[in-house]
Amino acid sequence: MRGRWRTALLAAGALAALAAGCGAEDFPNDPRPPAPIELTARIGDEKVVVSPTQTQSGEPIGAGLANVTISNQTGDDVRLEFTGPADETTDPVIANGVLEFKIDLEEGVYTVSAEDPRIDSTEFDVGPERPSAQNDLLLP
């Protein structure tokens, strides 16, 4: 009698595990998003400069996650504002300091400006989303 109950319980547990594990429709195997691109921004006394704003073939950079290294080469703490399809503002970049910033760029035109009105802004285009990084080796 005990053996039958044990067998019945194990069978019920196995069925429950199979039913719970068959969620392929709930969790499709989507390809990886594009690998992040590395951009730099320099805040000078006269102008903000972002680089690169084009691919090697001269096309605008593609949409997706971007890691931006911002160098503040002025004597004042300054925030950068990215305005366009996605609006973002950085934390203050300390005078003569560096800040790492992440932004999810969407397709369109961006204006990057410093909160200091004496510093000219810059614009750059963002093209369609970059291809998936599905088969790329992603390094830390």
Task: Report pLDDT digits (tens) over 37-71.
Answer: 999 999 999 999 999 988 888 899 999 999 999 99
Q: What is the mean pLDDT of the chain?
A: 85
* pLDDT beyond 90 at 33: no
* pLDDT beyond 70 at 10: no
* pLDDT beyond 60 at 1: no
**Which CATH architecture does the domain made up of 37-129 adopt?**
Sandwich (2.60)
Backbone dihedral region of 18: left (phi > 0), alpha (psi from -120 to 50 degrees) or beta? alpha
Beta bridge partners of 67: 38, 102
What pLDDT score was predicted for residue 39? 96
pLDDT in tens, 64-117: 999 999 999 999 999 999 999 989 999 999 999 999 999 999 999 999 999 999
Where in the chain are the domains? 37-129
What pLDDT score was predicted for residue 26? 58
pTM, full prediction:
0.73
Short-list 131, 136, 138, CA closest to 63: 131
What pLDDT score was predicted for residue 113? 96
